[in-house]
């Protein structure tokens, strides 16, 4: 795994090497497995704007964005953020919503000692992005996880309502990108900023590539099939468990959720598609990490669209490898069946996706372990 573990020879303690993107800069960290994200940010990176108070996940002072979602950095292990995008209070220099919130906190007297303020602003910004208008009751409920010992909250609620009013009036430019700086991903969102180059995860080289090749037949002409598989957003929509939060040209950032028996993972992913339209061939490279387990995944899929008696055929060759705690599942023979089941659902979705309405109504079907096991048993019984 890239979260490579070396030994601190003097202290005889294991040390992890982590990579993450903090405030839009790639950083590398060496820390112990027990190091919290808050400590890593404050002590290793000098980002002391992240405040620590209760250190038990109760007060919200340490709230930062992890992959676009506000989270407590005091009870988040730094190791679980390997490959993640982290935004601290120092990382909003060009953010219009945060600028308006800062101003509103000032004019509405929303802080006194200021200790809760970095975490409060992080949560406030998330509230502004999600709520349609200045509903005081809702704002108060949403702030339940952030404790302020000084202000009595009136100024804080007023400040957030003021910014929500600006949003409702159309006076506040809302961010387009959902990566790192919003928490409302959606397929149709198109970012105007670029998805920057990202250092690739360093696999040790010992992880085995697993390979699966398949053919799927479709009852649509090859040209129509090509148009669908050349559309990265549509491919993600048809793939069970996948979602895109940012899409710029041929690059995308999103998530892949996998639930397969005891294995549950939510990989933060980035993907890049390269196409050769003249040959109706494409290649998609993707990689990501599961924050909970620290497992890394890399995939490479090359595919080609062909004319066929049924209409068209999609031939693909998928290679993938896992590193980390969940890698044990990649050695399981059931994984082959899992990929086949994913493939079946993907093909079914792609076939149906002939209009925007049809795409919107695609079912959220995911591969079922029990169905896979049942098929195996049936095959076995039939000899």
* Residues contributing to the site for ligand FES (CB under 6 A): 52-55, 57-62, 72, 74, 111-116, 148-151
CB closer to ligand FES, 32 vs 55? 55
**Closest distance between ligand FES and the C-beta of residue 124, in Å?**
12
CB closer to ligand FES, 75 vs 212? 75
**Closest distance between ligand FES and the C-beta of residue 289, in Å?**
23
CB closer to ligand FES, 38 vs 286? 38
CB closer to ligand FES, 111 vs 195? 111
CA 47 to chain CA mean position, Å: 23
CB closer to ligand FES, 40 vs 234? 40
CA distance 241 to 266: 9
Q: At what angle do helices 117-130 and 154-168 cross, to 10 degrees?
A: 30
**Closest distance between ligand FES and the C-beta of residue 63, in Å?**
7
What's the burial of 245, exposed, middle or buried (CB within 10 Å: 0-12/13-18/19+)?
A: buried
**Closest distance between ligand FES and the C-beta of residue 236, in Å?**
34
CA distance 106 to 128: 17
**Closest distance between ligand FES and the C-beta of residue 105, in Å?**
10
Q: Which residues contact 68 (CB under 8 A, 6 or more apart)?
A: 85, 178, 179, 180, 181, 182, 183, 185, 245
Alpha carbons within 13 angstroms on the beta-carbon side of residue 261 total 12
Q: Which residues contact 187 (CB under 8 A, 6 or more apart)?
A: 233, 236, 237, 243, 244
CB closer to ligand FES, 63 vs 266? 63
H or E element that contains 226: helix 222-229
SS3 call for 11: coil
CB closer to ligand FES, 40 vs 59? 59
Strands (E), 77-145: 85-87
Q: Which two tokens stand for residue 68?
A: 């676009």
**Closest distance between ligand FES and the C-beta of residue 134, in Å?**
21
Phi, psi of 216 (to 5 degrees): -120, 135
CB closer to ligand FES, 167 vs 291? 291
**Closest distance between ligand FES and the C-beta of residue 155, in Å?**
9
**Closest distance between ligand FES and the C-beta of residue 264, in Å?**
25
């Amino acid at each position: 795994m890239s979260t490579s573990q070396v030994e601190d020879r003097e202290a005889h303690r294991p040390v992890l090497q982590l990579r993450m993107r903090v405030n839009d800069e790639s950083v590398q960290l060496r820390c112990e497995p027990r190091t919290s994200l808050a400590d890593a940010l404050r002590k290793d990176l000098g980002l002391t704007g992240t405040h620590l108070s209760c250190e038990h996940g109760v007060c919200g002072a340490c709230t930062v964005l992890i992959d676009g979602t506000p989270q407590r950095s005091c009870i988040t292990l730094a190791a679980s953020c390997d490959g993640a995008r982290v935004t601290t209070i120092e990382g909003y220099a060009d953010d219009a919503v945060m600028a308006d919130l800062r101003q509103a906190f000032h004019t509405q007297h929303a802080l006194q000692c200021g200790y809760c303020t970095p975490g409060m602003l992080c949560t406030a910004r998330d509230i502004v992005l999600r709520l349609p208008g200045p509903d005081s009751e809702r704002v108060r409920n949403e702030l339940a996880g952030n404790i302020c010992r000084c202000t009595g909250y009136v100024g804080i609620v007023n400040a957030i309502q003021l910014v929500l009013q600006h949003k409702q009036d159309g006076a506040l430019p809302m961010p387009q990108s959902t990566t790192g700086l919003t928490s409302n991903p959606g397929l149709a969102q198109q970012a105007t900023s670029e998805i920057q180059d990202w250092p690739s995860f360093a696999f040790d080289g010992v992880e085995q590539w697993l390979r699966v090749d398949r053919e799927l037949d479709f009852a649509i002409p090859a040209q129509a099939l090509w148009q669908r598989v050349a559309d990265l957003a549509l491919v993600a929509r048809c793939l069970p468990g996948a979602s895109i939060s940012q899409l710029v040209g041929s690059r995308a950032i999103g998530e892949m959720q996998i639930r397969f028996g005891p294995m549950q993972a939510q990989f933060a992913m980035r993907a890049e598609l390269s196409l050769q339209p003249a040959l109706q061939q494409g290649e998609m490279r993707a990689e990501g990490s599961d924050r909970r387990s620290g497992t890394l995944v890399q995939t490479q899929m090359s595919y080609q669209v062909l004319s066929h008696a049924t209409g068209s055929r999609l031939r693909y060759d998928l290679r993938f490898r896992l590193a980390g705690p969940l890698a044990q599942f990649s050695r399981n023979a059931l994984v082959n069946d899992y990929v086949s089941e994913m493939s079946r659902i993907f093909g079914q979705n792609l076939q149906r996706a002939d209009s925007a309405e049809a795409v919107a109504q695609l079912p959220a079907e995911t591969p079922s372990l029990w169905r896979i096991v049942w098929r195996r048993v049936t095959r076995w019984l039939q000899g």
